[in-house]
Chains A and B, each alone.
Chain A
Amino acid sequence: MKIKLIVLIIFSFIYTEAISQKYITKTGKIEIFSQTPLFTIDGVNKKVASILNAANGDIVASTLVRSFRFEEALVEEHFNENYLEPNKFPKSIFKGKIVNFSDVDINKNGTYDITIAGKLTIHGVTHDISEPGKLIVKDGNITGTTSFNVSLQDYKVKIEKAYKKAIKDAILLKIHFNYKLYKKS
């Protein structure tokens, strides 16, 4: 009887540990790209944070708009001062989940096709999104990647009239997160 109890306790301890596995990154990368004859918007943000809950596939991601850096100082200035109005809306946030997380085995190395769905908030505007991506499991680490377009109009990004025609409405976002298992110290 005692042995059974001990086994049960140990099992539930391991089970709890397993299901409370959170993976985290504070160095996630988002590249943004848009090209027209007049303007090339080429920026990158390497301070994107994200937590992936390995129990259920929930994902949150957040970043500060000001962390985006651009090749051209002019674009950086416009992006930071005008277009995204970071003084009013300093953050961009995603709250959602990997829809087909049951297809993923985080204990088995491999590349998994996933669908990520949830709410994306940019410039104070929230939209539901659903995009394909990949989850690469390798030796206890998880890498998540996805790539999709966002419409500037959808998020009410303020482009001056003068540049409106010069900048394409669709901006490509390329996302790359290298998650590590979160160990409480």
Chain B
Amino acid sequence: MKKIYKYILIIVVLGAIIGGGTVYYVFNKPHRNIKDETPAYTYTAKDLYKEYSEDEEAGNMKFGDKVIQVTGKIVEITNENNDISFVLNDEMESVNCALDSMFIKNNKPLIENYDLGGDITLKGKCDGFDMIMGVVLTQCFIVK
């Protein structure tokens, strides 16, 4: 009899540890690490816009939620409350790249080096295609 109780106790305790551990993990799960993710695609801003705008649905399937590395000319820089975005390629055919907030905090001088008309390479998560903003990338990091 005693042996069974012992086993039950072990199972219950094990169960509690696994259960507790799972709950802890689930509630403290880390965010997706865009910074260290290898880009699924590398594109020029011009080509990325072209491909996406020609077939939005195909673009969503191919690029949606993927990390993309994009290179292009800066045509607009927006800065609102220290949230900075680089708009690439062309105002009417743009790839809008919002910088990652942690990256902004730690790289102010680097970011200030980039001006309108200059080239930039960024890596970020593709959120989709917007009628006003064009191709939207968020959580972006400057590659060069």
- A residues neighboring B (CB under 8 Å): 24, 26-27, 46-47, 49-51, 60, 62-67, 69, 72-74, 76-77, 80, 86-87, 90-91, 178, 185
Complex A-B, nearest 5 residue pairs according to Cβ-Cβ distance, in ascending order? A49-B132, A66-B127, A64-B127, A90-B128, A64-B128
Residue ID in chain A nearest B30 by CB atoms: A73
Give the CA-CA distance A62 to B131 in the complex, in Å. 8
Distance (Å) between the CB of A90 and the closest chain B CB?
4
A160 CB, nearest partner CB in chain B, Å: 14
- Listed in ascending order, the chain B residues whose CB lies under 8 Å from chain A are 26-27, 29-32, 60, 64-65, 78, 80, 83, 85, 87, 91, 96, 98, 125, 127-133, 136, 138
Contacts of B60 in A (CB 8 A): 87, 90
Q: Which residues does chain B contribute within 8 Å of A46, judged by CB atoms? A: 80, 83, 98
**Chain B hits for A63, CB < 8 A:** 130
The answer, among A50, A66, A73, for a CB contact under 8 Å with B65, is A66
B-side contacts of A47, CB under 8 Å: 85, 96, 98, 127, 133, 136, 138
Whether A185 lies near B130 (C-beta < 8 A) is: no
Task: Tell me which residues across on chain B come within 8 A of A185, comparing CB atoms.
Answer: 91
Q: Contact between A27 and B130 (Cβ–Cβ < 8 Å)?
A: no
The residue of chain B having its C-beta at the shortest distance from the C-beta of A80 within the complex is B65
Given contacts A47-B96, A87-B60, contact A73 B32 (CB under 8 A): yes
Chain A: CB-nearest residue to B96 = A26
Q: Which residues of A have CB within 8 Å of B80?
A: 27, 46, 178
